[in-house]
Amino acid sequence: MIGLIGLLRFKWTWLIVGVVVLFVSVIAFAGAHPAAPVQVSGTISDYEEFTRNNVYDHNELTISGDSNKYTLDKTSFHPALPESLLKDGKVDIWIDSGSTTVIAIQLYDENDANPIKYTTDHYDNPASERSDTQNAGIVGSVIGVLLIGVFGLMFFLGRRGRPAAAAMAGGLPGQLPMQVAGTPAAPGSSVGVSPDGKWYWDGAQWQKVSDDGHWRWNGTQWVELGVVYSARGAPPPPAG
């Protein structure tokens, strides 16, 4: 999580994530369709519950002689599903055509009698699956557009702030902000900023950092600083 938050400092992260979210959402919207129940019958081989971060996620059902793992959200069924299913018990399930998602299930007692059917909204009202998928696609598309918009804003502000940052540091892009005497390379040193944040150690010498802390001089031009840490093993930075 910390690494992901760090990546958000880079404007290109917002663009890439936004494009991916927008693409997936458009595909989901375009492919939305009503539920088409397909019945599968057999006996229960295994029934497992899965959590994510200690929160319920889904269940997986395996039927004897069937290599598929059928997934279901037990919270979406009515009446409520029992916590456990009878192993080797008779079962009928209805999955959405082309998937392994269970949208209805019928359970029996120990004598394979007295069936009880549990259904979901997508089984009761097949058209609701299309509308739900389309709504999710719309929300995802909006989020994708907003992420791309954040990239555009960061790109615009970065283009405006770059000359200003360079000027504050004592020069313009393409001009050395100030002459810094070469510093002997320190064996085993790591690149990073000085304790006061005014200088950047590139492994060979100290380079100037803009006053706003967003840009560093690489000896030829101003480049975006990005995520950096304190320099280690470097000689003391220039005074001032």
Q: Is the pLDDT score of 163 beyond 90?
A: no
Structural contact between residues 137 and 29, judged by C-beta atoms closer than 8 angstroms: yes
Residue 180 lies in a domain: yes
Shared-domain flag, residues 94 and 136: no
Question: Is 187 found in the same domain as 153?
Answer: no
Q: What is the pLDDT of residue 173?
A: 46
Average of pLDDT values for 115-119?
Answer: 97
Same domain, 56 and 119: yes
Distance CA 108, CA 111 (A): 7
The CA-atom distances, in angstroms, between 30 and each of 77, 89, 155, 236 are 27, 39, 31, 60
The size of the chain, in residues, is 240
- Report the pLDDT value the prediction gives residue 224, as an integer from 0 to 100: 86
In terms of C-beta distances under 8 Å and separation of at least 24 residues, what long-range contacts does 179-186 make, across chains too?
A: 180/205, 180/206, 180/207, 180/208, 180/238, 181/238, 183/234, 183/235, 184/235, 186/233, 186/234, 186/235
Same domain, residue pair 64 and 79: yes
Q: How many domains does the chain have?
A: 3
Residue-level pLDDT at 143: 92
Q: Say what the pLDDT of residue 32 is.
A: 82
- The model's pLDDT over 172-190, given as tens digits with 9 standing for 90+, comes to 444 445 545 555 555 667 8
Q: Are 207 and 230 members of one domain?
A: yes
pLDDT digits (tens, 9 = 90+) for 118-146: 999 999 998 888 888 888 899 999 998 99
Structure confidence at residue 184 (pLDDT): 54
Mean pLDDT value of segment 47-74: 95
Whole domain around residue 141: which residue ranges?
A: 1-34+126-159
Span of 74-78, 143-147, 157-161 with lowest mean pLDDT: 157-161
Query: Do 23 and 134 lie in a common domain?
Result: yes
Record the tokens describing residue 226, joined without a space: 């990005």
Q: DSSP state, 230?
A: B
pLDDT in tens, 198-215: 899 888 888 898 888 888
Whether pTM exceeds 0.75 = no
Structure tokens at 13: 């992260």
What mean pLDDT do residues 103-117 have? 95
Indicate whether 94 and 118 sit together in one domain.
yes
Same domain, 90 and 65: yes
User: Confidence class of residue 117 from pLDDT cuts 50, 70 and 90?
Assistant: very high
Q: Do 148 and 109 have their domain in common? A: no
Residue 5 has pLDDT above 90, yes or no: no
Q: Is residue 164 part of a domain?
A: no
**DSSP bridge pairs for 56:** 51
10 and 82 both lie in a single domain: no
